[in-house]
Structure 1
């Protein structure tokens, strides 16, 4: 059973629990919001670009914002201004999601073409070091989406949306990725890890859209049915066991551009839903 915490979003993405509130990107308004457990929302940043695709934080608390189409990674300074955090212009395409590990290393993914021909996988993962150095650490990703890093900092899991898999990599001492493998043969989007090692991610159950809790290997442990398509799941709240799900009226029968145009200019159907989870948040984000 879910409850509505907030409505009226124009595609909410990149849900993160941070400093006692749920933070998210509201694509259609170009804003980063923080939402309290009472449903009160505050604008924390307004990006000077088209879409604030994804967010996370440096260890010192400064906010990072992925400006995907412009291929920029922005950093919010103490005075609220947004500046370029690192030069990502050499990467092979636009950007999508970010996760920052416990050492302050950022992993940013993207792709040369988010509408590739069948069988193509132009996506990549890039490492942004705390010193601002950027290097590609994985390629051949079939539409890279949400990512998580395990609490020990040893594993990164990414959703390959077009391949319908959650894919894992070992993280090396230098931040490089190796030992690529299927973590679970299920599709995913914005996701979160819990203390029992399971991942919550938006999915599509037998009866329609859902947020599913998946174990390594692919066993579905829990299913939370949704009215509309899910874009991201997060865990937070006072005990870390409140599940937050970002949803919007994305129609599988329509094309990508048609859906995006309708959600950005039509009725604001985006919502934040909550439910109780069996285990608290773990890892990053």
Structure 2
């Protein structure tokens, strides 16, 4: 993993106090009848700035916590909404579809019950089709394996970004009311080459992660690609990907995403594709009541 020890301009600030020096008595001694000039108050010296935290320690803790947070999906029942929008060149929505699920842990995967499709009650065939597709289960298995598959729901993907980018500590910031370490990252060309679309996208991404000071959870992530991504054995080329993610606490020392959004621009032959995918998660409850 790349490492940078250069800190952001706002990371170290030194404030110098001004000390007033009172004039001493003249060589002739004090003047009779003159009033003594009181010494000016001492200006307290500004405290020394705190040393920056260890970047590698933050990353190591965040990697460990990320694995635990991913595993925690198995302990919760939750609602999931998946939206896809096809956009025109002017950014206007030309086509939209939306699916709402109730997701419950089931065996080594999840039962994904479709409860709404495009704002209406789904037909039985549509419910069975989505249950067999098991899109969240496939995404979850990719995360657990730490691999870079073809799924997009992981934000291409946090586990990859935490292991294959070059990071710079950029100070502390508050996001959504939570104090966080901000880490800016950029592609690290020295990392070993991987495979899969998710790996190819993550390997050319730059952006920022906000990791909670208390607990080292990824609270917010924002990233975008720095160059185009050719897709092997395909006539398509991904021109741009932008990803944003927000997480929130859902249980004791557990943070899970509440929103993931991805904007993709691609080209297939002469056709341009501009697509927005949005995933939201809510109504988390323990899948099995605690003993």
Hey, which of these two has a bigger chunk of strand by percent?
Answer: 1
Mark the structure with the bigger radius of gyration.
2
TM-score w.r.t. length of structure 2: 0.27
- Give 1 or 2: higher helix fraction: 2
Provide the TM-score with structure 1 as the length reference: 0.28
Q: Which has the higher contact order (CA 8 A, sep 6+)?
A: 2
